[in-house]
Structure 1
Amino acid sequence: MARIPVFLRGAVVSGALALLAAGNVAQAATYGAGIENSQWYLSESVFECTLVHQVPGYGRAVFRHRAGESLSFFLESETPLMRPGRGMLVVEAPSWRPGTAPRTLGRVNVEDGRRTVSLDSRQAMILVQGLLEGMDPTLTRQSWYDGSPVRVKVSNINFSGQFSGYRSCTSGLLPVNYDQIKRSRVPFSAGSTSLSGADRRLLDNIVAYVQADSTVERIFVDGHTDSSGSRIDNRALSEERARVVADYLIDEGIDSDLITVRAHADQFPASNRPADNRRTTIRLQREGERPDLQQANGYDAASPNS
């Protein structure tokens, strides 16, 4: 065997170490469930439908559909394994289906914190389609620690059966969620106390939500006017606007004991535009929320009830 000249030995050793380091960087750490431990869990209610998949060693993958919203998807990890930045998302065949070409979905944001990746409805549905086709959505991003690739695979095994249950769940979701209707506004024309069709649909959604959520313990209905007219007339008008909303809620099945009606005339304008001030606002309060922050006029210190 030929001997390496002494003056070249250092270069050869350095080159070998460089190749070894390059090989380590290229070696991806892959996290994903196998055939033996791939499970999807369906959680269903009238408020939300979720499909949860545990990714061993990484965290979990979640498809979430809240009432009143569209499907979304996110990855969660208790430990920050991926460096924040742009990761590559593909849909690829599992190892037991060689020869099937992967589909590149593009780059997605990898965030710092527990929820590392969040996808909108369109992207989430692309992942669903891939899973139903027997493919595995896979995200690749550099690691926090040494820059080597980290791959997170979402397994398709046992997905399709639970997805059928998810679809049934979504058909029974409420039309709105709490965040969408906890503060609502019914506008009025000048001098009017009439409810429009859109107003009734909004109030119907509030009724449906309150009847389903037993934690709602109080509904504040506050009537307002613009500054035209006398204070006495405006007081009466704001009370009538609040009362017409409260009566509608009661007629549709809300317990009157839940409702507090208040009239403010033009005392608390929402803006300089008169049209913005001709309104009745509805605020829901759940058990455990902090009513001590609410002012007597129906506003809270952080967010005016406008």
Structure 2
Amino acid sequence: MARRLRQAVTALMAAAGCAFPLAGSEAASFGAGVDNSQWYLSESVFACSLSHDVPGYGRAVFRRRAGEAVGFYLETNGALFKPGTGRLVVEAPVWRPGVAPRPLGSVQVGDGPRPVAVDSRKTMQMVQGLLDGLQPTIIRTAWYSQEPVRVQVSNINFAQAFQKYQACTANLLPVNYDQIQRTRIGFASGSTSLSDGDRRLLDNIATFVLADSTIEHVFVDGHSDRIGSRITNRALSEERANVVADYLKARGVPENLLIVRAHGDQYPVSRRPADNRRTNIRLQRQGEVPALQQASGYGGDSAG
């Protein structure tokens, strides 16, 4: 049975133009050759991706989102790897015999459309290997037999494409949507003053909102602790919301995007007063339906 499956996979590899193992080896190898090794850059201020087709397997992708480190993953439409722990090595192509491989450690292999994801440190080691003329290779037992499957990332045409990728990453925004969709600005007791760290955070939010045309609302919700009268706390929360909204407006955020609200001490999120002295900022994109949120009680928050 395993032999028939192996023969079927070999036929698929032949049709796709994949690299083959040497005689006597049982490993099935997937990788581009000299004639079909291409790299494609997808670029924006939100993310930069450098992708490479692996014939017969899928795609290899280096990707960096704004505000995050670079990572690497494999994409595939078929499950060729058995889920579990695989190996990552950087090795010489067949036309450079005698160069010792560099083991980079283990990688976890899953069973979804992106079965392999590599952390930033190992990704940069893969990049350095490619720039040195070597090929990163992921090795894991096949799902259809006990023999290994090898997916190789070709170094051919990589260096020039990587230069363009680096130029793209230099223009990325400082943060991404997930990092700032919900943001909290804390305040000292009775204070409405912004710290230098608060201003840097608000600068990043303003930069992102100005770059992302799909942002339709910026909710700014002021809160207070329960120390003092409700009237005083209501006024304090309003001032805290306004100081944040005014800063965002001064950095170019259109006033028509801002929805400013004050809640006083109505929605505590903790029994600690310091946690409740805050202004919450929430971004909403077009078409997003906000999840229903708890409006009162510990651990909840207001709709903003």
TM-score (norm 1): 0.88
RMSD: 2.2
**CA distance in 1 between partners of 2:285 and 2:198 (Å):** 23
The equivalences for 1:226-237 within 5 A come to: 226-237=225-236
Q: In structure 1, what is the equivalent of residue 51 of structure 2? A: 52
Q: Counterpart in 2 of 1:140? A: 139
| Match in the other structure for 1:189 | 188
The aligned amino acid for 2:277 is: R
Q: Note the residue ranges of structure 1 that are not aligned, 5 or more in a row.
A: 1-23
- State how 1:140-159 maps to structure 2 within 5 Å: 140-159=139-158
Verify the 8 A CA contact 2:293 2:301 in the aligned structure 1. Answer: no
The separation in 2 between residues aligned to 1:39 and 1:305, in whole angstroms, is 48
Q: Counterpart of 1:198 in 2: which secondary structure?
A: helix
Give me the whole-angstrom Cα distance separating, in 2, the residues matched to 1:302 and 1:116: 36
**Aligned match of 1:267:** 266
Distance 2:58 2:303 in 1: 39
Q: Which residue of 2 aligns with 1:82?
A: 81
**Matching of residues 208-247 of structure 1 within 5 Å:** 208-247=207-246
Which residue number corresponds to residue 170 of structure 1?
169
Give the match for residue 250 of structure 2. 251
Whole-angstrom distance in 2 between the partners of 1:79 and 1:258: 44
Deviation digits for residues 141-199 of structure 1, max 9, x if unmatched? 11111122100000000100010001111111100000000000100000000000000
Q: Deviations over 1:252-278 (max 9, x none)?
A: 111100000111111111111110000
Map Cα deviations across residues 192-228 of structure 1 (whole Å, 9 max, x no partner). 0000000000000000000000000000000000010
Aligned-partner Cα distance in 1 for 2:111–2:303: 33
Q: How far apart are 1:106 and its partner, in Å?
A: 1.6
Counterpart Cα distance in 1 of 2:303 and 2:117: 31
Using the alignment, how far apart are the partners of 1:209 and 1:151 within structure 2? 41
Q: Which amino acid aligns with 1:188?
A: F
- The Cα shift of 1:103 comes to 1.2
Tell me, in whole angstroms, the C-alpha distance in 1 between the residues paired with 2:210 and 2:51.
28
Judged with a 3 Å threshold, the aligned counterparts in structure 2 of structure 1 residues 25 and 189 are, in CA distance, closer, same or farther, namely farther
Q: Report the alpha carbon displacement of residue 294 of structure 1 after superposing the two structures with TM.
A: 4.8
Residues paired across the two proteins, number: 282
Contact 1:50 1:166 (8 Å CA) reproduced: yes
Amino acid corresponding to residue 88 of structure 2 in structure 1: L
Query: Shift of residue 297 of structure 1?
Result: 5.7
How far 1:247 sits from its partner (Å)?
0.5
1:295 CA drift (Å): 5.5
Asked which structure has the greater CA Rg, the reply is 1
| 1:233 maps to amino acid | T
Q: Relative to structure 1, is the Cα distance of residues 298 and 137 closer, same or farther in structure 2, using a 3 angstrom cutoff?
A: farther
Cα distance in structure 2, aligned partners of 1:275 and 1:97 = 63
Instruction: Work out whether residues 281 and 305 of structure 1, in 8 Å CA contact, stay in contact via their aligned partners in 2.
Output: no
Greater displacement, 43-52 / 99-108: 99-108
Distance 1:303 1:99, change over 3 A: farther
Are the structure 2 counterparts of residues 221 and 297 from structure 1 closer, same or farther at C-alpha, using a change threshold of 3 Å?
farther
Asked if structure 2 preserves the Cα contact closer than 8 Å seen for 1:264 and 1:297, the reply is: no
2:63 counterpart of 1:69: no
CA shift at 1:102, angstroms? 1.1
The question of 1:107 aligning with 2:106 is answered yes
Query: Counterparts of 1:276-291 in structure 2 under 5 Å?
Result: 276-291=275-290
- Aligned residue in 2 for 1:8: none
For the structure 1 residues 165 and 85, does the alpha-carbon distance in structure 2 shift closer, same or farther, using more than 3 Å as the test?
Answer: same
How far apart, CA to CA, are the structure 2 residues paired with 1:72 and 1:206?
24
**Aligned partners of 1:44 and 1:169 also within 8 Å:** yes
From the superposition, tell whether residues 39 and 298 of structure 1 become closer, same or farther in structure 2 (CA, over 3 Å). Answer: farther
Match for residue 32 of structure 2? 33
Aligned to 2:18: none
